[in-house]
Structure 1
Amino acid sequence: MIFNLLWGFLFQFRQINLVGTLPNAVGVQYSLIFIRHLPQMNYPDKIELVLTYKHDPDDTDIFTEKVKAERVGEYYKLVQVPAFAPNIAYGDIVKVEVDDGEFHFDELIEESGFSVVQIVIWKQESKYRIISTLDDLGCGVNTNVADNYLVISVPSQLLYQPILSFLLTEHSIENIDFRDCRSKVHASNL
């Protein structure tokens, strides 16, 4: 137990050098350890996380989007729903890497269970009805991206089937087009 605590304490330092042993009064030898703390990158509690993505895998154009994230241990949790980036959602825990002072998405560590739906509205007269219905279904609706664009956040505890059925109906009557980033929770309940 004490060894684990000591090792945990020492592990936070970057370099540990054993420089010799000293005998005590009863002949037991103790190791003399010199610890040097090397400078580490300062990871703030709140960041703007840069998400880099392609709209089309065959396209050479690369896009970026910034979302807010908060530190959770050595990782970051998204506290803002991505408006355009695919395959990432509100609440996801991610690993970041720093490049030129900016924090970039490196890998997904833990999925939150939230899903994201990105909707293009073709018929403006249907916009407020669509927003109202999605809100009634329990979704978060972001209308601040563009006049004809909605970003929907679907909490993990909601059933996805009623939401998907509504979206497919609206798509079939050409009111909207959409793409979704379904969490494993929602994908397994369809």
Structure 2
Amino acid sequence: MSESSERPVSASGADLFKVAFDLEAEREDWPPVSVERLWGEKTEVRFEIRVVNTPFFVPGIAYGDLIRVRPDNERRELVFESFASESGHSTIRVVFLRRNLRESVENQFRDAGCSWETTSRFNLLAVDIPPTVNYAEVRPWLAQRRESGDLEFQESAISTLHRSQVNSTS
């Protein structure tokens, strides 16, 4: 069986491209990779890409955000150059500290209207919080789970909308 040479397409039918994000170490063991590659689709602006998945390790980027890229001929790939604008989505990372919690946490995210990507390699969820979700309703149960020692979460990219929702309840 041969692999297809066709480029994947987004839900809108646009061709998808992988974009490399070089990561700086926050600590000696984090992040556990030096490069993360995210899918994106071209916009009408030259070298501008809309991110179409949720990052596991790239800080400050969420689903739908617009970024600028540059071609790296030596590496033969597109490389992240700069952030252009936010989409209104937010990204959080969840690491499970206790076993057998994943299903109940995923159900809470699903009920709230969030989606996520997962990797068993790192026992991690990369959660997309769309603009239609009130983050001020999600954050308290996450904080409660953190306080009980069930999980740890990191707010990787919190949109202006979600930040204002949390701040208005403080």
TM-score > 0.5 by shorter chain: yes
> 8 Å contact 1:124–1:148 — kept in the other structure?
no
From 2, 14, 35, the counterpart of 1:64: 35
- Structure 1 residue 188, shift from structure 2 partner: 1.5
2:54·2:116 contact (CA, 8 Å) conserved in 1?
Answer: no
Compared with structure 1, are the counterparts of its residues 59 and 90 closer, same or farther at alpha carbon in structure 2 (3 Å cutoff)? same
Q: Which residue of 1 aligns with 2:111?
A: 136
Matched, 1:76 2:49: yes
Aligned residue type for 2:80: F
**Superposition deviation, residue 148 in structure 1:** 2.2
Structure 1's consecutive aligned runs of 4 or more residues displaced over 4 angstroms after TM superposition are 57-62
Quick one: higher RCO (CA 8 Å, sep 6+), 1 or 2? 2
106, 109, 130: which one pairs with 2:84? Answer: 109
CA RMSD of aligned residues (A): 2.3
- Structure 2 residue runs without a partner (length 5+): 1-13
Q: State TM-score, norm by structure 2.
A: 0.79
The answer on whether the counterparts of 1:122 and 1:148 sit within 8 Å (CA) in structure 2 is no
Q: 1:187 aligns with which of 143, 163, 166?
A: 163
User: What one-letter code is carried by the residue in structure 2 that aligns with 1:47?
Assistant: F
Which residue identity is paired with 2:16?
K
Q: 1:90 to 1:145 in 2, by over 3 A?
A: farther
Of the three residues 152, 157, 161, the one matched with 2:132 is: 157
Confirm or deny: 8 A CA contact 1:114 1:154 kept in the other structure. Answer: yes
Note the C-alpha offset of 1:54. Answer: 2.1
What letter matches 1:93 in structure 2?
L
User: Are 2:23 and 1:53 equivalent residues in the alignment?
Assistant: yes
TM-aligned CA distance change 1:84 to 1:60, over 3 Å: closer
C-alpha spacing 1:60/1:173, structure 2 compared with 1 (3 Å): closer
Of residues 171, 180, 186 in structure 1, which corresponds to 2:146? 171
1:122-157 per-residue CA deviation (whole Å, 9 max, x = no partner) reads 111222111101110110022335362111100012
For 2:98, the equivalent position in structure 1 comes to 123
Once structures 1 and 2 are overlaid, which stretch shifts more, 162-171 or 146-155?
Answer: 146-155
Q: Greater Rg, structure 1 or structure 2?
A: 1
Q: TM-score, normalised by structure 1?
A: 0.71
Count residues with an aligned counterpart: 147
Superposed, 1:83-102 pairs within 5 Å as 83-99=56-72, 100=74, 101-102=76-77
CA contact 1:68–1:80 (8 Å) conserved in 2? yes
Structure 1: segments with no counterpart, 5+ residues: 1-43
The alpha carbon displacement at 1:45 in A equals: 4.5
- Return closer, same or farther for 1:60/1:122 CA change in 2, 3 Å cut-off: closer
Question: Normalized per residue, which structure has more strand?
Answer: 1
